[in-house]
Amino acid sequence: MLRKSIAQWATVAGLALVGAATVQAAEPIIIGQSAPLTGSNKELGEDIRDGALAYFHKVNADGGINGRKIELITLDDQNKTDLSKQNTAELLDKHNAVALFGYASTTLSKPAMPHVEKAKVPFVAPFTGADWMRTFRPLVFNHRAGYGDELEKVIEHYTTFGLKRFAVLHHDDTVGSENLAAVERALKARDLKAVSIASIKRTQKDIAQEVATVVKSNPEVVICTTLYRTTADFVKQSRKLGLNAQVVSLSFAGSTALAGALGEAGLGVVMSQVVPTPTKASVPIVREYHDAIKAIAPDKVHSFTGLESYIAAKILVEGVRRAGPNVTRASLLKGLESINNYDLGGYVVSFSPKDHNGSKYVGLTILGRDLAFKD
């Protein structure tokens, strides 16, 4: 398993003990993470890890929290549920993490939950907007808008311009069904129904039949709630069949991965986002992210996922600050719940003891000729 922690940067910066000095530094505050650093979805896992590392490095360079450094321990789960479960147990039992952070999906978060509940440890910023994670759970803190919020924004936007013919492409699983239900609710509220619905298994490679079904229904807008590869395949195949509809993807696909898979075939594809555009330096939190990521990875490409993780790490650290000098899992829980109308620099988050869904921010972006999603 691959481990990467902020201690690497601390050593480079000369923060380690010098010579045979007997004075010991305060113990670090351990944050645990299981993420796909190899295998499928590795780009997503790396972006989540690196965005968080950028903020933790910034905090540590300023002296840490109450003289203690933040250390992120990331274990590779290869996007496999059994490894996510195993990693969670190790992070809690061996490393005594005060919080778990930044798991890359609902699929990887679910196996962790029995360990989370047994240890009563805060589970912060799972990278998912699925209903399963947003239903109130006392230990889970969602920093971002849900998929339902994204889908409502998409449908509101296009119906405002008079478009009525919507098709849906979704995965044949629990999260995919939840997304379909969210689309149907939003359409029903406007006295509309989907003109076609295509259900695809996550491991399915041949989607020709589903593509043909959607194209035949002559939609004006196609909403894809699928992973990036399936979405890209749909766009390429449907355009060869003459589809002229607007294709919209949820943030779920990952903008960097989707843009790379689409290439020029994806010009004009729209994607909903749950954070500001990461190249928009006029937004204070974006500008701060640029400076922080440059300090640890000067060549790192700015991404929506990296910015989202940076924001999530900043929220977590604010909770640590509020938890007091001797932070525990219980005091961190209370610290996070005390965060209300916290403006991180153009992105506001609120929690309470009865509501752990921090934000409903949703924006729409479009893939331009520079092959990047921008608003």
- Residue extents of the structural domains in the chain: 3-145+281-349, 147-273
DSSP category for residue 277: -
CB count within 10 Å of CB 18 equals: 8
Give the mean model confidence (pLDDT) for residues 341-349.
Answer: 97
Q: What's residue 319's pLDDT? A: 98
Name the most confidently modeled range: 41-45, 104-108, 346-350: 346-350
Q: How does pLDDT run across 268-292, given as a tens digit for each residue?
A: 999 999 999 999 999 999 999 999 9
Q: What's residue 33's pLDDT? A: 98
- Report the SS3 class of residue 297: coil
3-state helix, strand, coil in the chain (%, to 5): 45, 15, 40
- Residues written for the chain: 375
Query: 32, 18, 15: which is closest to 316 by C-alpha?
Result: 32
Per-residue exposure over 90-120, b if at least 16 CB sit within 10 Å of its own CB, e if not: bbbeebebbbbbbbbbbbbbbbbbebbeebe
Phi, psi (deg, nearest 5) at residue 4: -140, 125
Q: How does pLDDT run across 112-134, given as a tens digit for each residue?
A: 999 999 999 999 999 999 999 99
Q: Read off the pLDDT band of 261 (50, 70, 90).
A: very high
Give the mean model confidence (pLDDT) for residues 20-34.
Answer: 76
Distance (Å, whole) CA 240 – CA 225: 21
Q: Which two tokens stand for residue 111?
A: 């196996």
Identify the H or E element spanning 313: helix 304-322
Is 90 exceeded by the pLDDT of residue 91?
yes
Q: How does pLDDT run across 172-225, given as a tens digit for each residue?
A: 999 999 999 999 999 999 999 999 999 999 889 999 999 999 999 999 999 999
DSSP line for 260-311: HHHGGGGTT-EEEESS--TT-TTSHHHHHHHHHHHHH-TTPPP-HHHHHHHH
Distance (Å, whole) CA 153 – CA 321: 34
- Supply the mean pLDDT for the chain: 92
- Report the SS3 class of residue 73: strand
What pairs with residue 101 in β-bridges?
A: 124
Q: Read off the pLDDT band of 256 (50, 70, 90).
A: confident
User: Is the alpha carbon torsion for 306, 307, 312, 313 positive or negative?
Assistant: positive
Which residue in the block uniquely carries the two structure tokens 């010009």? 267
Which residue in the block uniquely carries the two structure tokens 């939609």? 219
Distance (Å, whole) CA 167 – CA 198: 8
Query: 170, 165, 293, 156: which is closest to 217 by C-alpha?
Result: 165
Check: CB of residue 210 under 8 Å from CB of residue 181: no
Q: What's residue 202's pLDDT? A: 87
Distance (Å, whole) CA 4 – CA 74: 6
Is 70 exceeded by the pLDDT of residue 15?
no
The CATH H-level superfamily of 3-145+281-349 is Response regulator (3.40.50.2300)
Amino acid, res. 201: K
Q: What's residue 193's pLDDT? A: 98
Distance (Å, whole) CA 310 – CA 120: 24
CB count within 10 Å of CB 124 equals: 26
For the whole model, what pTM was predicted? 0.89
- Report the SS3 class of residue 136: coil
Distance (Å, whole) CA 200 – CA 226: 8
Amino acid, res. 238: S
DSSP category for residue 141: E
Distance (Å, whole) CA 121 – CA 329: 5
Check: CB of residue 316 under 8 Å from CB of residue 124: yes
CATH class of domain segment(s) 147-273: alpha beta
Q: How does pLDDT run across 138-151, given as a tens digit for each residue?
A: 999 999 999 999 99
